[in-house]
Amino acid sequence: MKKVVIVGGGFAGARIANSLQGKFHVTLIDTKNFFEFTPGITRTLTNPNYRRFIEIHHRKYLKNANFHHDSVTNIDKKFVYTSKGEKILYDYLIICTGSKYNQPFKGENVFLADRAKDLIESHKRIHNSKKILVIGGGLVGVEIAAELANKYKHKKITLIEAGEKIMGRNTEKTRSYVMKFLETRGVNIILNEKVVSYTKVTAVTDKNRKMRADMILLCVGIVPNSEFLRKNFSRYLDERGHLKVNNELLVKGLKNIFAVGDINDVAEEKSAQAAEKQAKVVIRNIKRLEKGGTLKSYHPSKKPMVITLGKWKGIFEYKNFVWTGILPSILRTFIQLKTMIRYRFSFFRYLGL
């Protein structure tokens, strides 16, 4: 069997490893030892037990594949090198390392909002916090502010966004609904202002506003996880650190290395749904490479978005259509359930779910 090495076990990496195991000699390398339904992590901020519904150990579903709980330090045209000193040979390499929040300033009360584990650590501080500052008015920042506002009605929650509007990539109807939802629950929303520094208890903005905060949740500054590529593959990276790919999601100039999801330079919204759509194309293309067939192209497109505002409110948005209320929240739960079933019950892998 040909050796397929997958770096990163998020939506794209886990989907590819799950689909190709048994058909290739598959090795998945991930810094986490579990798959995590990342759209659900905001709920863990107010309900730490929710974590068990959005995580599954990689070894639970990779019955016919190898899993390495490790980080990759370097790659070349034949091998992947890990922090534990392993040197793993590959015939096909699939890079799905995603992105992360780049913390621009340090502080003992600053938490990155990108993993359930980090948010659970934040949860431990919430009960002792009277004032909470959420930096970033994008999707994650809005969902976190909504979770906090629903759960803790007597805490002062502030959402600050550097741009002139929250959720700048969404429709005006969506933004208006979110603004009304947050403001009626007491969230203070500050626009056109950027946090530039932070001391132990005070955040300072570019307009010299000083805000006291017992804890900060940082939801801005997403950058691709591509540091390990800079030694040997810097020429394949764009100026922002994304791998440059062709229509078949192969790294440009290479015939056996794919880049999927947030790590690549495909011009579309970086989302879990997009990563899974790209993963499906790569799965087909690896099979076609083995059979000498024509590779399938990936075509970026506007995809539906489901946003949750606490447990019982949500928004479904697709192009100019916006649907609000309890049903979009139920839809998000269904999507999460379907995703987790795929990994909890291997039978569903064969159905392509």
- A 10 A CB-CB count for 231 gives 12
The answer to whether the CB of 193 falls within 8 A of the CB of 206 is yes
Rounded to an integer, the average pLDDT of 293-302 is 94
Rounded to an integer, the average pLDDT of 229-249 is 97
DSSP 141: H
What Cα–Cα distance (Å) separates residue 69 from each residue in 197, 256, 305, 320? Answer: 35, 24, 31, 42
pLDDT given for residue 65 in this prediction: 97
- Which of 79-88, 94-103, 302-311 tops mean pLDDT? 79-88
The answer to whether the CB of 249 falls within 8 A of the CB of 258 is yes
Asked if pLDDT for residue 202 goes beyond 90, the answer is no
Average pLDDT of the residues of the chain: 91
Would the CATH topology of 3-101+222-303 be identical to that of 110-218?
yes
> Does residue 217 sit in helix, strand or coil?
strand
Cα 130 to Cα 41: distance, rounded to the nearest angstrom: 22
pLDDT band at 350 (very low <50, low <70, confident <90, very high): very low
* CATH class belonging to 3-101+222-303: alpha beta
pLDDT band at 45 (very low <50, low <70, confident <90, very high): confident
Instruction: Transcribe 6-68 into DSSP letters.
Output: EE--SHHHHHHHHHHBTTBEEEEEESSSEEE-GGGGGGGGT-GGGGGGTEEEHHHH-TTSEEE
Assigned CATH topology for domain 110-218: FAD/NAD(P)-binding domain (3.50.50)
Rounded to an integer, the average pLDDT of 331-352 is 77
pLDDT given for residue 281 in this prediction: 98
305 strand-pairing partners: 317
pLDDT given for residue 353 in this prediction: 45
Report the alpha-carbon angle 342-343-344, nearest 5.
100
Amino acid 294 reads T
pLDDT given for residue 218 in this prediction: 85
Cα 147 to Cα 301: distance, rounded to the nearest angstrom: 29
Cα 234 to Cα 118: distance, rounded to the nearest angstrom: 30
Give the residue extent of every domain in the chain.
3-101+222-303, 110-218
Cα 285 to Cα 279: distance, rounded to the nearest angstrom: 10
Asked if pLDDT for residue 229 goes beyond 90, the answer is yes
Predicted confidence (pLDDT) per residue in 60-97, tens digit: 999 999 999 999 999 999 999 999 999 999 999 999 99
Cα 251 to Cα 257: distance, rounded to the nearest angstrom: 6
Predicted confidence (pLDDT) per residue in 107-163, tens digit: 556 666 656 666 666 777 888 889 999 999 999 999 999 999 999 989 999 999 999
pLDDT given for residue 98 in this prediction: 94
* 210 membership: H or E segment, kind and range: strand 210-212
* 124 membership: H or E segment, kind and range: helix 116-126
Q: What percent of the chain stands above pLDDT 90? A: 77
pTM (predicted TM-score): 0.91
Tokens representing residue 251 in the block = 């790294």
140 strand-pairing partners: none
Cα 51 to Cα 34: distance, rounded to the nearest angstrom: 11
CA-based nearest residue to 96, from 167, 200, 20:
20
Please name the residues in contact with 283: beta carbons below 8 A apart, sequence gap of 6 or more: 15, 16, 19, 20
Rounded to an integer, the average pLDDT of 317-331 is 95
Predicted confidence (pLDDT) per residue in 165-190, tens digit: 999 999 999 999 999 999 999 999 99
Tokens representing residue 133 in the block = 């500052």
Amino acid 71 reads S
pLDDT band at 348 (very low <50, low <70, confident <90, very high): very low
pLDDT given for residue 263 in this prediction: 98
pLDDT band at 351 (very low <50, low <70, confident <90, very high): very low
